[in-house]
């Protein structure tokens, strides 16, 4: 490029003085892109929302991104350029990190003599970045490119770095990626052999010890559920709190980015776009990112045939060391987010239309240490069969009763995998998600608490598809239980440090949740033996345990079941779930499926701890549209 062309790229002050800079909307009206009435409506919306008028017009479908870029070029007297991935000067790009270029929406395009041409999509912000360039570039000049082109340009040049960082954002001491697979294989060979020898030599003793452990872990989980239920009753009574509309707030709405990880989702992708289009949050402040793996041709081909709105875009995650997990994909996409708040939805999710307004309002009024909001998870296909009914009862009990109670008590909140919203700055400080943990949500909930932050529950629901087939249910539950095992082992590497970080109350709550959850499934066959006492039959450990211990264990088991029924009844008492009340009485027959899942999880913990057993969606049929 010649010096003459450079002068065309950067008009002189005299040339700019001869051409007064008009508002962007005026160029768009003069170019015939929008009408005067549309401009007036857009300016009124801009005063209320604070969004750039170009982004607002594109989000409303009144203008195309290319029209906005052409008008910006006219307004600022800049040359439009097209950024092609895999081109450019790596030496220029290496002067700053990929995160810097993505955060500011700029990128060095090429060098002309002593001048470096910087591509930007927001020329109005370019002068504010000049101090950042002074130490690395002697002279810079802006050129105009789209935000999408800039992101793709950065991604293509920093692919190895971004892919590697996505796998290791979390500090090593909080991650399971440092586990030695050789140790796992050694344990996998020795542990079954050792247990077999002990059982052969001391069968009754081993059984009795197992019964004691089973009673202990059941006590832990029963105490946790009872505390959460009691807190709910103290604040709401026996009726589940209805979802209230978001209060009116005078605070300016923030931009919200929502990550939606997709993997081999042929059946769900089109329905997802339809469901998210029901959101009432201003589209100019909404940034929905569909995150998919670069080798996932199924989802890519499906999305290629789907007309995505302007507020929805696709990010492809490059492979690295063969790791394909949801948390790694979200870690990669985190750098490409544009919002101050980052949320997570799953592929099959159907959030209530006003959900993001509630999120924005709660963050605006919450204390500074509240950095995460967890919404209510529910199911849109509870009528599919008995399994989906019980799954709905279980979710209602946990997300509408127990978890809010735990949060009110100030205990560690094990997050659900969706309908989560974070302050982006804090999420980045914590390193995002552990890419190797298959329940990255529960792990992140613990790390938030250890760092001194809090999670609050919000009364807005997201509806998902309940697994209504036994084997897929077992596969999904085994992934969750394996993740709980991983999370517990990681954070208990140094129990004293964990105690110091959490404090006594939260430390005990941590033990109650993880040991209680895992114990009630892994040791369930031993717990079932206590039903023999109620039937008037002798217990196998009667010769080794005193009667009062056996009676205590039976009492705790009965209390646990009665508590589960009471919580379930309360949880489904809202008007649209009352038809599930009779099915609450069958919940005892539902949880034994979790025993198979628990031992599948234990096997995978030893032999393939990072394996992600994906849940298949799209089996609910048309029910997903009738929420």
Domain layout of the chain by residue ranges? 3-164, 218-531+587-625
pLDDT at 435 over 50: yes
Q: Which residues contact 472 (CB under 8 A, 6 or more apart)?
A: 615, 616
Question: Of 294 and 21, which is predicted with more confidence?
Answer: 294
pLDDT at 274 over 50: yes
Which among 217, 113, 88, 327 is positioned nearest to 101, based on CA atoms?
A: 88
CA distances from 210 to 228, 520, 526, 543, 545 (A): 27, 12, 7, 15, 12
Q: How distant is the alpha carbon of residue 225 from its chain centre?
A: 24
Compute the distance between CA of residue 101 and CA of residue 108 in angstroms, rounded to an integer.
9
Compute the distance between CA of residue 385 and CA of residue 381 in angstroms, rounded to an integer.
9
Least confident of 32-36, 263-267, 537-541: 263-267
pTM exceeds 0.75 for this model? yes
Q: Phi and psi dihedrals of 254, rounded to 5? A: -85, 165
Mean pLDDT over the full length of the chain: 89
Segments of 380-437 assigned E as strands: 420-423
Q: What is the pLDDT of residue 423?
A: 98
Which among 438, 538, 514, 508 is positioned nearest to 480, based on CA atoms?
A: 438
pLDDT at 601 over 80: yes
Q: Phi and psi dihedrals of 379, rounded to 5? A: -120, 145
Segments of 390-505 assigned E as strands: 420-423, 454-464
Name the strand (E) or helix (H) holding 317: strand 312-317
Contact 509, 488 (CB under 8 A): no
Average pLDDT of the segment spanning 83-106 = 89
DSSP category for residue 237: T
Compute the distance between CA of residue 607 and CA of residue 611 in angstroms, rounded to an integer.
9
Spelled out in words, what is the top-level CATH class assigned to the domain 218-531+587-625?
A: alpha beta
What is the per-residue pLDDT across 367-418, written as a single tens digit (0 to 9) for each?
999 999 999 999 999 999 999 999 999 999 999 999 999 999 999 999 998 9
pLDDT at 14 over 50: no
* Helix 440-450 / helix 470-491 crossing angle, nearest 10 deg: 30
196-179-262 Cα angle (round to 5) = 105
Q: What is the pLDDT of residue 306?
A: 84
Contact 231, 409 (CB under 8 A): yes
Contact 69, 148 (CB under 8 A): no
Contact 523, 503 (CB under 8 A): no
Contact 335, 162 (CB under 8 A): yes
Average pLDDT of the segment spanning 85-89 = 79
Average pLDDT of the segment spanning 515-526 = 95
Query: CA neighbours within 13 Å on the CB side: how many for 368?
Result: 0
């Amino acid at each position: 490029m010649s010096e003459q062309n450079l002068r065309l790229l950067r008009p002189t002050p005299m040339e700019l003085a001869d051409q007064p800079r008009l508002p962007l909307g005026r160029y768009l009206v003069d170019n015939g892109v929008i009408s005067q009435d549309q401009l007036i409506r857009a300016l009124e919306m801009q005063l209320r929302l604070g969004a750039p008028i170009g982004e607002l017009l594109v989000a409303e479908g009144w203008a195309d991104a290319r029209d906005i870029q052409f008008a910006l070029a006219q307004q600022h007297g800049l040359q439009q350029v097209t950024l092609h991935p895999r081109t450019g000067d790596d030496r220029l790009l290496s002067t700053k990190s990929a995160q810097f270029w993505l955060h500011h929406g700029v990128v060095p395009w090429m060098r002309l003599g002593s001048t470096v041409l910087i591509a930007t999509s927001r020329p109005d912000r370019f002068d504010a970045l000049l101090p950042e360039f002074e130490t690395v570039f002697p002279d810079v000049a802006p050129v105009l490119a789209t935000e999408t082109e800039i992101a793709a340009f950065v991604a293509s040049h920093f692919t190895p770095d971004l892919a590697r960082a996505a796998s290791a954002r979390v500090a090593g001491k909080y991650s399971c990626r440092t586990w030695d697979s050789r140790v796992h294989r050694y344990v996998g060979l020795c542990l079954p052999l050792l247990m077999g020898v002990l059982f052969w030599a001391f069968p009754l003793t081993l059984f009795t010890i197992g019964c004691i452990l089973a009673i202990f872990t059941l006590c832990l989980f029963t105490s946790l559920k009872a505390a959460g239920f009691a807190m709910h009753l103290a604040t709401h009574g026996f009726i589940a709190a209805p979802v209230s509309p978001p209060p009116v707030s005078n605070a300016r709405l923030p931009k919200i980015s929502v990550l939606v990880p997709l993997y081999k989702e042929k059946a769900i992708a089109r329905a997802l776009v339809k469901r998210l289009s029901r959101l009432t949050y201003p589209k100019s402040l909404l940034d929905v990112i569909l995150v998919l793996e670069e080798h996932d041709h199924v989802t890519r081909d499906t999305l290629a045939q789907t007309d995505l709105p302007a507020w929805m875009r696709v990010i492809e995650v490059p492979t690295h060391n063969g790791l394909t997990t949801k948390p790694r994909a979200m870690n990669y996409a985190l750098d490409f987010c544009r919002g101050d708040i980052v949320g997570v939805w799953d592929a099959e999710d159907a959030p209530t239309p006003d959900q993001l307004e509630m999120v924005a309002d709660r963050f605006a009024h919450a204390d500074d240490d509240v950095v995460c909001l967890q919404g209510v998870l529910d199911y849109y296909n509870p009528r599919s069969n008995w399994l989906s009914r019980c799954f709905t009862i279980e979710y209602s009990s946990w997300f509408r009763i127990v978890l809010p109670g735990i949060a009110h008590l100030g205990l560690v909140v094990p997050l659900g995998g969706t309908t989560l919203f974070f302050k982006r700055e804090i999420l980045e400080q914590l390193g995002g998600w552990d890419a190797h943990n298959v329940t990255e949500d529960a792990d992140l909930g613990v790390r938030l608490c250890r760092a001194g932050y809090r999670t609050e529950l919000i009364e807005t629901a997201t509806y998902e598809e309940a697994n209504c087939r036994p084997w897929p249910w077992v596969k999904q539950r085994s992934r969750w239980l394996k993740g709980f095992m991983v999370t517990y082992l990681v954070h208990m590497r140094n129990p004293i440090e964990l105690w110091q970080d959490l404090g006594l109350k939260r430390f005990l709550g941590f033990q109650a949740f993880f040991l209680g959850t895992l114990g009630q499934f892994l040791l369930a066959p031993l717990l079932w033996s206590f039903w023999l006492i109620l039937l008037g039959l002798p217990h196998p450990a009667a010769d080794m345990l005193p009667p009062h211990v056996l009676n205590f264990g039976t009492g705790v088991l009965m209390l646990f079941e009665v508590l589960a029924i009471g919580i379930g009844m309360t949880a489904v008492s809202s008007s649209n779930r009352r038809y599930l009340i009779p099915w609450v009485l069958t919940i005892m027959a539902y949880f034994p499926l979790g025993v198979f899942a628990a031992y599948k999880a234990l096997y995978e913990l030893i032999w393939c701890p990072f394996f992600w057993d994906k849940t298949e969606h799209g089996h609910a049929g048309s029910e997903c549209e009738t929420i």
